[in-house]
């Protein structure tokens, strides 16, 4: 199986110098760099290490830049990476082995938190992604001891910081040429990709031997440092994912959980984070586009039930 490694950098040359070298050392069949209108050394580093450099002359959103990178990859499997993710030796073989052994669509590596290049901690960043029955996405095991997550297991999906996808799993869930939904812009867009892969019948597996060190700039513990715009984007994108990917059968099954969460979320916005309130209007404005995408997604749906809440567990 041919594998492409794809790294996105937006003025992140200082980090890219390390992440690109680590990726190249894994000897992928193809190494693609997307230079998102960077004004630093990103382009020069790419030309020195990458098989192909895709230069975006105008700064693109995260989703548009990710789509450009995926379109440039020719591998049967595509490793999605970022400038702040540093793959450890053996990542390629471990991730591919997990993908082929289980016949799945995606592999979630063991992401361990780092404070900088070559400075890993002993804390887990995530052992994959979960979308629970409230339709809220989250990081599995974030902040817990990294050495406790040693068992390969099926999970809901892979976090976008580092994920290996079978090309077919990405393209099955694509709407036209859009794997990542541009309407979501950034936050939760990786959960949306994982959810659509599930709707199309693809499974995901957590592989602890595929190790990646990651400098996480946003996490549940640092949410208060996010801009109001970013918090609103994440809040509204949950509704757009539901409008596009959910089934009425599953909504009816989980309606009591979803309704309770909605009441609590509205109360939180009214009492604690009033700058979230415009997100309701933003979601309503973007709803027609989500409904148009829904027709495409649901017409290709292959499963009746999506495993909400499926997540890795630590080994005691």
Which domains are present in the chain?
A: 3-220 (3.90.550.10), 225-299 (no CATH)
| Residue range 250-273: mean pLDDT, rounded | 95
Q: How confident is the model at residue 266 (pLDDT cuts 50, 70, 90)?
A: very high
3-state helix, strand, coil in the chain (%, to 5): 45, 25, 35
Percentage of the residues of the chain whose pLDDT score is greater than 70? 97
**Per-residue confidence (pLDDT) for residue 220, from 0 to 100:** 64
Which of 40-44, 82-86, 178-182 has the least mean pLDDT? 40-44
pLDDT in the model for residue 103: 67
Average confidence (pLDDT) over 73-89: 96
pLDDT at 191 > cutoff 90: yes
Do 165 and 152 meet the contact criterion of CB atoms below 8 Å apart?
no
Average pLDDT over residues 231-259: 95
Q: What is the pLDDT of residue 314?
A: 93
Which residues does 272 contact at the CB level (< 8 Å), separation at least 6?
Answer: none
| Residue 277 DSSP code | T
> Six-digit token pair at 277?
């309130």
Mean pLDDT, range 258-275, rounded to an integer? 94
Query: Is the predicted pLDDT of residue 316 greater than 90, yes or no?
Result: no
Both structure tokens of 48: 């020195």
pLDDT of residue 100: 87
In this structure, what is the dihedral angle of CA atoms 65, 7, 181, 208, given to the nearest 10 degrees?
A: -170
Q: What pLDDT was estimated at residue 183?
A: 95
Q: Which of 223, 237, 32, 279 is nearest to 131 (CA)?
A: 237
Confidence category of residue 5, pLDDT binned at 50, 70, 90:
very high
Q: Which residue has the higher pLDDT, 72 or 102?
A: 72
Which one, of 91, 88, 140, 148, lies nearest residue 118 by Cα?
A: 88
> What sign has the CA pseudo-torsion 32, 290, 229, 255?
negative
Mean pLDDT of 109-128: 94
The DSSP-derived string for 91-153 is HHHHHHHHHHHHT-SEEEEEEEEESSTT-EEEEEEESSEEE-TTS-EEETTTTSBGGG----E
pLDDT at 48: 87
State the average pLDDT over residues 281-302.
95
Predicted local confidence at residue 209, as pLDDT: 97
Region 48-62: mean pLDDT is 91
φ and ψ of 64, to 5 deg: -65, -40
**Residue 276 belongs to what H/E stretch?**
none
What value does the mean pLDDT take over residues 218-245?
85
What residues contact residue 297 under an 8 Å CB cut-off, 6+ apart? 173, 175, 196, 199, 244, 245
Q: What is the pTM of this model?
A: 0.94
Q: Which of 251, 273, 255, 131 is nearest to 195 (CA)?
A: 131
Please state the rounded mean pLDDT for residues 137-159.
Answer: 95
Residue 51 has pLDDT above 90, yes or no: no
pLDDT at 49: 86
Residue 219: what pLDDT? 62
Range 155-174 burial, b when 16+ CB lie within 10 A, else e: bbbbbbbbbbbbbebbebbb
Q: Is the pLDDT of residue 102 over 80?
A: no
Calculate mean pLDDT across residues 128-136. Answer: 96
pLDDT at 263 over 80: yes
Q: Following DSSP, what letter does each residue of 35-85 receive, concatenated?
A: EES-SSTHHHHHHHH-SEEEEESS---HHHHHHHHHHH--SSEEEEEETTE
Percentage, residues of the chain above pLDDT 90: 86
Residue 225 binned pLDDT confidence (cut-offs 50, 70, 90) = confident
| Mean pLDDT taken over the chain | 93
CB distance 84 to 160 below 8 Å: no
Of 266, 262, 282, the C-alpha closest to 274 is 266
* Six-digit token string for 266: 């509205």
């Amino acid at each position: 199986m041919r594998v492409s490694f794809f790294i996105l950098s937006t003025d992140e040359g200082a980090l890219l110098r390390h992440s690109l070298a680590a990726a190249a050392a894994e000897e992928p069949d193809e190494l693609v760099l997307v230079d998102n209108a960077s004004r630093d050394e990103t382009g020069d580093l790419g030309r020195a290490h990458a098989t192909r450099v895709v230069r975006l002359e105008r700064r693109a959103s995260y989703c548009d830049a990710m789509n450009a990178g995926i379109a440039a990859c020719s591998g049967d499997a595509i490793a999605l990476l970022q400038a702040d993710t540093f793959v450890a030796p053996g990542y390629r073989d471990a991730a591919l082995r997990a993908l082929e052994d289980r016949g799945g669509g995606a592999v979630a590596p063991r992401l361990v938190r780092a404070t900088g290049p070559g400075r890993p901690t002993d804390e887990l960043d995530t052992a994959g992604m979960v979308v629970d029955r409230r339709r809220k996405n989250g990081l599995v095991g974030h902040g817990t001891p990294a050495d406790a997550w040693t068992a390969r297991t099926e999970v809901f999906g892979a976090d976008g910081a580092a994920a290996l996808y079978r090309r077919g799993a990405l393209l099955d869930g694509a709407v036209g040429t859009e794997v990542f939904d541009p309407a979501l812009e950034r936050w939760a867009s990786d959960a949306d990709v994982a959810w659509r892969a599930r709707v199309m019948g693809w499974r995901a597996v957590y592989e602890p031997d595929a190790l990646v060190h990651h400098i996480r700039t946003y996490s549940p513990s640092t949410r208060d440092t996010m801009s109001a715009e970013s918090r609103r984007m994440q809040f509204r994108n949950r509704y757009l994912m539901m409008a596009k990917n959910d089934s009425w059968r599953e909504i009816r099954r989980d309606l009591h959980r979803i309704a309770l969460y909605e009441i609590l979320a509205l109360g939180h916005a009214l009492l604690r984070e009033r700058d979230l309130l415009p997100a309701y209007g933003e979601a309503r404005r973007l709803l027609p586009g989500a409904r148009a995408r829904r027709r495409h997604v649901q017409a290709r749906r292959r499963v009746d039930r999506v495993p909400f809440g499926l997540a890795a567990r630590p080994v005691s």
